[in-house]
A and B are shown apart, each in its own frame.
Chain A
C-alpha cells in the first residue's frame, strides 16, 4: 500500500469516469453508484489513521518526477508529483472522505435533473480537495486547488437557486482573484528559492535559509506572504472578503453547501496553516496582529450578521464567517504574542493551534449537518424563511431533537466537539493577548443568541396550521445521513484525545519552527550589524541562483 495516497486521491476521479458509462436516465442507479463509490473511498481512507504514527513527519510519501523541463538541471528543484500526509492533513482528508457520501445521501432527491453530471462534478471536486490536502509540491497543490474551483462553480451555477448565476460568478471571480495572486507568489517564491517542493522548503526555513529569515528580502517576503494570506483568506473567508459566501451558500444546492462549508472553507485555513505560517515565521510575527484582528472582527461581525438574517441558510452561512474567525485567530495566536517567555509561547501555540484544527473538524461536521437539516426542511416546504415555519417541533419531534443537538455543537456546549475547539482557541489566544481573546469571547454569547433565535422561530411556539402541510418527521434515509455526524459530535466532545494526540506533533512542529525563527531573527539582526561579516548575505547569494529583485 505504498501508493495509498494516490489511490485515495484518484479513486473519486475514477468513479467519475465510470459514471460516464452509465446511461443518463437511470438516476437511482447513478445515485447508488455515486454514494457507494464515495463510501468505499471513505472506507479505504480509514487505512490512514490505522497506520498513522503520531509524529511530526510526513507519512505515506510518494514522489515522482513530473515536469523536469521547467526547472534547471537541479533535480530537487523541479516540480514533482509529491504527496504526503501528516497530523494536519490526516483528519481533513478523513473529513472530506466522510462528508462526501453523506452529502450525496442527504441530497438523494434534492438533485432531480442532470444527476449524472452532478455526480461527476462532485467526484471531481473530491479529487481536487483530497489532492490539495495531500500535495507537497507547490505546482501540484495549485493544480488541485484549481481543480476544486470548476466543479464547485458548476454545482452552484447549474443546480443552484434563482440567483445562481450571480452567486456562481461571484464565487468564481473571488476565488480566482485569490488563485492568481497565489500563483504569482508561488512562481516567484519557488524560482527564487530554487525548489517547488514544500517539504524541502520547510527544511530550508528550519535551517535558517536567509531568504526566509534574513533581513534583505523583507519586501519580497512581505508581498509573497500577503499574496498567500489573501488568497487563502478569500477561501476561509476572512472579513471583509466574505461576501461571496452567503450568496454562494444560499444559491448552492444542499450537497454543494455541505461540501462548501465542511471542506472547501477549511482549505483556506489549511493553506494558512500549511504554507503561509511555517514558511513566513517573521511575517507572522510582524503582521499576525492584522490577521488576528480581522479574525476577531469576523467573529463578532459574522455573529451579528447571522442575527440579522431571516433566511435560515444565510444565517448558517454567516455563522461560518464567525466560526472560521476562531480558526484564523487560533492560527495566528502565536503571532500576536508580544512577550518573550518561551514557556508561554509553547503553551500558546500548542493549545491554540490544536483548537484551530479541532474547530476545522467540528465546524465541518456541525455546519455540514446544519446545511443538511435546512435542506431537508426546504425539500418539504420549499422555503427557507424562518417566518414561514414555527412550532414544527410538534410535527417533527425527532428532527427537532437532532437540530437541537447540532445547534449545541455549533454554540460550543461542553460535551460536544464544538466546545473543545472554541475553548482551546480562546484559552491559547488569551495567554498571548488577553484583550483580543476577551473580545473574541463575546462571540460565545452571540453564537447562542442567533442559533437559539433560529431554533425558537422555526421549531417552537404555536404551530401555524397553514405551514404544517407536508412536514413529516425524518425518514430512515435522512436519519442514516445524520446519525454518523451526531455520533461524531458527541464522540469528539467526550473523547477528543485520540484526535488531539494525532494532530499535536505536527502542530508542535509548526509552533517550534515559529519559535526558532524568533531566535533566528535575533541572530540574523546581530549578524548584519555594522562591522559584522555578512556571512548570511554571502550565503544567500551563493544559494539563490537568479538574484531576486531587491535593491
Chain B
C-alpha cells in the first residue's frame, strides 16, 4: 500500500468542504449533501483499505509533510494509521458517512444546506487530523478544529440567541480545557524535547529499560524511581543529586523536578483538556446546551465522535498514564462520578435530546473509568459501541423530532410507536444496547468496564481494595440510571397514548423520509451486532476477543488475575438493567398528568426529582462564581483602573500643566516698562546666585570684599 494514500482520508473531506463552502448557494440540499456524503464515503473506503493493511501486516502506515520547526522544536503534518487510529478512522468516517446521508433528509427544509454540509465535512477533516496526527500539535490542531466546527454547527441556526449562546459556551468551556492541554504540551516538550508520540514512547521505554523495568509486564512502576536522565536537564539533575545526598531519601522538592511527579502533572493537565472536550466534571456543562444544534450534528459530533476525543487522547498516550498512577486514579474517579452525576440529571429531563445528552456525558464517564483503570482497549471498545448505539438513538430522536415538526418535549409525545414503526423498532434496539442488555453491543463493553473497575486495586498510587468496590458501585448505580432514563424515554415517546394533540394532531405525524430510515436500519444492525467483536475472554478465551487482539500491538491488555468471578458481575449488572428497564418502562406508560405531577410522591423523591430537573444548579453556580465575577471585574477594572487611575493621573498632569500656564499668563502684559523692570530684577537674582565674591572679584573690588569678610 502506498503510504501517501492515507492522506486522502483527511483531504477528501477537506476538498468537500472547499467545494460546498465556495459553491455556496449554487447547490440544493441533495447536491451539496451528495458531494459531502461521497467525500466522506471515499474516506471510509480508504480507511477500510488502510485498516485491512494494518490488520494483515501489522505495519504502521504514515506520511509526513513539513509544518514548522524552530530551535529544536518540530511539529509536522504527520499522519499515521496504526491499530488505534485505524479503528477511530473507521468509526469517524463510517458513522460520519451514514450521518451525512441522513442529513440529506433531515435538512431538506433548511435554507443553507451547502453551509451545513461544508461545516460537516470540515468537522470530519479536523476529527481525522485529531486521530491520525502523529504528534501532539497536529492532534491539537484537530482538537481545536473540531471545537470550531462544533461551535459553528451548534449555532447553525444563529437567528435564535439561545443557539448562538450555546455555541459560544461550548467554545469557551472547551478553551478552558485547552488551557490544560496546552500547558501539558509545554511540559512534555520541556521533559521529552519532542512532541512526537513515537519518540515520546521510545524515550519512556528506554528509561524503563535502563532502570531494569520492563514496561507492560503488568507491574506498576514506583513513582520517582524510573526517571533518571531523560526528563531532566543538567541543572535539575545536579539538584537531585544534592538533594539525595543531603537527605538520603526521596522528598517532595526533588520529586517535583525529577520523579514521575512531572509525568503525573502532565497526565493531569492532559485530563483537564479531556474533561473539556469529552464533557466530564467539571467542564461538562456545555454538552447539554450543545443540543441546540441540528440533530445530525448532535449525533455525529456530540455523541459518536468529537466528544470521545479525550478518551482517544488518553489511549494514545497510555504509556504516560501507565506511569502516573495518581493521575489514573483521578481519571477513574472523575469518570465514575460523572457517570452517576449525569445519569441522575438525565432521569428527569423532558427534552428528548437533553436526555440523550446527559446519557452521553454519563457514557463518556464509563469510558474514562476504563481509561483510569488502565483498561484502555475496554474504553475504546465502549467508544466504538457507543458510537453506534448513541448515533442511532440521536438519529432516531431526530426522526421523531422531524415527524413532530421540531417538537422535542416528550410530554407532547406518547404512543408514537404505532405511527412511526420503523423509528420505534430501531430506537428499541438502540435503547437495549445503551442499557446493556445481552447480546446487544453495549452489554459487552459496559460489562467489561465494570469488571475492570472492580479490579482496580490502587488509589492515588497506594494499594486500596475499597476503591475498586467504590467505583464499581458508582458504575453499577450509573448503569441503573441508564436503564431508568432509557426506558422512561422509550415509554414516554412510543408507548401509551399521544399527549400532543393540542399542538400537533397525531394525523400530521409521519415517518421520516427513506434516506433517514435506511440509515437508522444500518446503525441498528451495527448497534445490535458490533459487540460480538469484543466478547469477554472468560467466555471465548483470550484469542476470541477480536477487538483486544487487534489493538494488542498498540495497547497491550494486561490479563487480570482476580479472585472474583466475572460471571457473577455480569449477571448482576444484566439483572439490574433488565429489572429497572422493565419497572421504569411500565411506570411511564401513563396519562400525561401523572408524568409531571409530583403531588403523589413522597417528600424525598420529590426533592430529588426537582434537583435533578434543575440539573443540580451547576450552571447557576458557575454563573455566580465565575461568569459574573469576571464580567463585573472587567467592568470595574476598566472604570476604576483604566479610566480612573491611569487616565486620571495623565489627565491630571495635563490639567496641572495647563493651570500653571494659566497662572503665569498675567505676567505677559505686553508693557515695555514692565519687561525692562523684570529684566533688571532677573539680572539681580542671577547676580545673587553667582555670589557677591565673584562679582566683586570681577569688578576689581577684592579689598572691599575682604573687608566684608
**Chain A residues near B (Cβ < 8 Å):** 170, 173, 240, 243, 301, 304-305, 307-309, 339-341, 343-344, 346-347, 349-351, 354-355, 391, 393-394, 408, 413-415, 419-420, 423-424, 426-428, 430-431, 434, 437-438, 441-442, 444-445, 448-449, 452-453, 456, 459-463, 494-497, 500, 504, 508
| Given A350-B71, A448-B171; A441-B179 close (CB under 8 Å) | yes
Interfacial chain B residues near A441, Cβ < 8 Å:
179, 182-183
Nearest neighbor of B635 in chain A, beta-carbon distance = A308
Determine the distance from Cα of A339 to Cα of B171 in the docked complex, in whole angstroms.
Answer: 37
Interfacial chain B residues near A430, Cβ < 8 Å:
183, 186-187, 190
Contact in complex: B67, A497 (CB < 8 Å)? yes
Besides the known contacts A393-B158, A414-B144, A444-B175, 13 further A-B residue pairs in the complex with CB atoms under 8 A apart: A240-B646, A304-B633, A308-B639, A339-B233, A340-B234, A346-B71, A413-B148, A414-B140, A420-B68, A427-B73, A444-B178, A460-B164, A495-B66
Contact in complex: B69, A307 (CB < 8 Å)? no
Q: How far is the CB of A81 from chain B (nearest CB, A)?
A: 35
Q: List, sorted by A's number, 15 A–B pairs whose CB atoms are closer than 8 Å.
A: A243-B646, A308-B634, A308-B638, A341-B234, A350-B71, A351-B70, A351-B71, A354-B71, A355-B70, A413-B148, A414-B145, A424-B73, A430-B186, A444-B182, A496-B68
Nearest neighbor of A394 in chain B, beta-carbon distance = B159
Determine the distance from Cα of A3 to Cα of B171 in the docked complex, in whole angstroms.
Answer: 51
Which A-B residue pairs are the 5 nearest by beta carbons?
A: A350-B71, A460-B164, A414-B141, A430-B186, A308-B638
**CB of B702 within 8 Å of the partner chain:** no
Contact in complex: A442, B179 (CB < 8 Å)? yes
Q: Which of B145, B161, B631, B647 contacts A307 (CB 8 A)?
A: B631
Q: Which of A437, A438, A497, A508 contacts B66 (CB 8 A)?
A: A497
Contact in complex: A438, B634 (CB < 8 Å)? no
Interfacial chain B residues near A354, Cβ < 8 Å:
70-71
Interfacial chain A residues near B637, Cβ < 8 Å:
301, 304-305, 308
Contact in complex: A347, B182 (CB < 8 Å)? no
| Given A240-B646, A243-B642; A340-B235 close (CB under 8 Å) | yes
Nearest neighbor of A453 in chain B, beta-carbon distance = B168
Nearest neighbor of A411 in chain B, beta-carbon distance = B175
Q: How many residues of B contact A (CB 8 A)?
A: 52
Contact in complex: B148, A408 (CB < 8 Å)? yes
Determine the distance from Cα of A463 to Cα of B164 in the docked complex, in whole angstroms.
Answer: 13
Determine the distance from Cα of A497 to Cα of B137 in the docked complex, in whole angstroms.
Answer: 15
Nearest neighbor of B140 in chain A, beta-carbon distance = A414
Contact in complex: B233, A341 (CB < 8 Å)? yes
Contact in complex: A445, B176 (CB < 8 Å)? yes
Q: How far is the CB of A59 from chain B (nearest CB, A)?
A: 21
Contact in complex: B172, A448 (CB < 8 Å)? yes
**CB of B165 within 8 Å of the partner chain:** yes
| Given A304-B633, A500-B68; A449-B159 close (CB under 8 Å) | no
CB contacts between A and B, total, < 8 Å: 153
Determine the distance from Cα of A391 to Cα of B157 in the docked complex, in whole angstroms.
Answer: 11
Contact in complex: B630, A437 (CB < 8 Å)? no
Contact in complex: A431, B190 (CB < 8 Å)? yes
Contact with A along B545-579 (1 / 0, CB 8 A): 00000000000000000000000000000000000
Interfacial chain B residues near A424, Cβ < 8 Å:
70, 73
Contact in complex: A504, B70 (CB < 8 Å)? yes
Interfacial chain B residues near A420, Cβ < 8 Å:
68
Contact in complex: B647, A243 (CB < 8 Å)? yes
Contact in complex: A413, B69 (CB < 8 Å)? no
Q: How far is the CB of A538 from chain B (nearest CB, A)?
A: 36
**CB of B700 within 8 Å of the partner chain:** no
Interfacial chain A residues near B234, Cβ < 8 Å:
340-341, 343
Contact with A along B151-168 (1 / 0, CB 8 A): 100010011110011001
Interfacial chain A residues near B72, Cβ < 8 Å:
346-347, 350-351
Nearest neighbor of A412 in chain B, beta-carbon distance = B144
**CB of B525 within 8 Å of the partner chain:** no
**CB of B650 within 8 Å of the partner chain:** yes
Interfacial chain B residues near A495, Cβ < 8 Å:
66-67
Q: Which of B70, B159, B171 contacts A461 (CB 8 A)?
A: B159
Determine the distance from Cα of A243 to Cα of B638 in the docked complex, in whole angstroms.
Answer: 11
Interfacial chain A residues near B175, Cβ < 8 Å:
444-445, 448-449
Contact in complex: B69, A434 (CB < 8 Å)? no
**CB of B469 within 8 Å of the partner chain:** no
Contact in complex: A497, B69 (CB < 8 Å)? yes
**CB of B189 within 8 Å of the partner chain:** yes
Q: How far is the CB of B49 from chain A (nearest CB, A)?
A: 27
Contact with A along B133-147 (1 / 0, CB 8 A): 000010011001100
Contact in complex: B164, A307 (CB < 8 Å)? no
Nearest neighbor of A354 in chain B, beta-carbon distance = B70
Nearest neighbor of A511 in chain B, beta-carbon distance = B71
Q: Which of A343, A462, A496, A504 contacts B161 (CB 8 A)?
A: A462
Interfacial chain A residues near B68, Cβ < 8 Å:
420, 496-497, 500
Determine the distance from Cα of A23 to Cα of B159 in the docked complex, in whole angstroms.
Answer: 49
Interfacial chain B residues near A423, Cβ < 8 Å:
137, 182
Interfacial chain A residues near B650, Cβ < 8 Å:
170, 243
Q: How far is the CB of B246 from chain A (nearest CB, A)?
A: 20
Nearest neighbor of B631 in chain A, beta-carbon distance = A307
Contact in complex: A307, B168 (CB < 8 Å)? no
Interfacial chain A residues near B187, Cβ < 8 Å:
430, 434
Nearest neighbor of B25 in chain A, beta-carbon distance = A397
Nearest neighbor of A444 in chain B, beta-carbon distance = B179
Determine the distance from Cα of A434 to Cα of B187 in the docked complex, in whole angstroms.
Answer: 9
Contact in complex: B70, A350 (CB < 8 Å)? yes
Determine the distance from Cα of A497 to Cα of B66 in the docked complex, in whole angstroms.
Answer: 8
Q: How far is the CB of B669 from chain A (nearest CB, A)?
A: 29
Contact in complex: A307, B159 (CB < 8 Å)? no
Contact in complex: A461, B161 (CB < 8 Å)? yes
Interfacial chain A residues near B66, Cβ < 8 Å:
495, 497
Determine the distance from Cα of A21 to Cα of B702 in the docked complex, in whole angstroms.
Answer: 71
- A243, A350, A419, A424 — most chain B CB neighbours (10 Å): A243
Interfacial chain A residues near B635, Cβ < 8 Å:
308
Determine the distance from Cα of A437 to Cα of B183 in the docked complex, in whole angstroms.
Answer: 9
Determine the distance from Cα of A508 to Cα of B71 in the docked complex, in whole angstroms.
Answer: 9
Q: How far is the CB of B18 from chain A (nearest CB, A)?
A: 12
Q: How far is the CB of A540 from chain B (nearest CB, A)?
A: 33
Determine the distance from Cα of A346 to Cα of B70 in the docked complex, in whole angstroms.
Answer: 11
Determine the distance from Cα of A350 to Cα of B73 in the docked complex, in whole angstroms.
Answer: 9
Contact in complex: A460, B161 (CB < 8 Å)? yes
Determine the distance from Cα of A497 to Cα of B171 in the docked complex, in whole angstroms.
Answer: 29
Q: How far is the CB of A50 from chain B (nearest CB, A)?
A: 21
Q: How far is the CB of B623 from chain A (nearest CB, A)?
A: 14
Contact in complex: B168, A456 (CB < 8 Å)? yes
| Given A243-B646, A415-B141, A460-B158; A349-B71 close (CB under 8 Å) | yes
Nearest neighbor of A390 in chain B, beta-carbon distance = B161
Contact with A along B597-639 (1 / 0, CB 8 A): 0000000000000000000000000000000001101110111
Contact in complex: A347, B233 (CB < 8 Å)? no
| Given A304-B637, A438-B183; A339-B71 close (CB under 8 Å) | no
Q: Which of B148, B185, B235, B638 contacts A339 (CB 8 A)?
A: B235
Interfacial chain A residues near B633, Cβ < 8 Å:
304
Interfacial chain B residues near A301, Cβ < 8 Å:
637
Determine the distance from Cα of A413 to Cα of B150 in the docked complex, in whole angstroms.
Answer: 14
Interfacial chain B residues near A426, Cβ < 8 Å:
182, 186
Determine the distance from Cα of A419 to Cα of B161 in the docked complex, in whole angstroms.
Answer: 29
Nearest neighbor of A246 in chain B, beta-carbon distance = B642
Interfacial chain B residues near A340, Cβ < 8 Å:
234-235
Contact in complex: B161, A305 (CB < 8 Å)? no
Determine the distance from Cα of A513 to Cα of B409 in the docked complex, in whole angstroms.
Answer: 68
Interfacial chain A residues near B638, Cβ < 8 Å:
304-305, 308-309
Interfacial chain A residues near B159, Cβ < 8 Å:
391, 394, 460-463
Nearest neighbor of B193 in chain A, beta-carbon distance = A347
Contact in complex: B630, A307 (CB < 8 Å)? yes
Determine the distance from Cα of A339 to Cα of B190 in the docked complex, in whole angstroms.
Answer: 13
| Given A415-B141, A497-B69; A456-B165 close (CB under 8 Å) | yes
Determine the distance from Cα of A212 to Cα of B156 in the docked complex, in whole angstroms.
Answer: 60
- List residues 187-201 of chain B with CB under 8 A from any CB of chain A: 187, 189-190
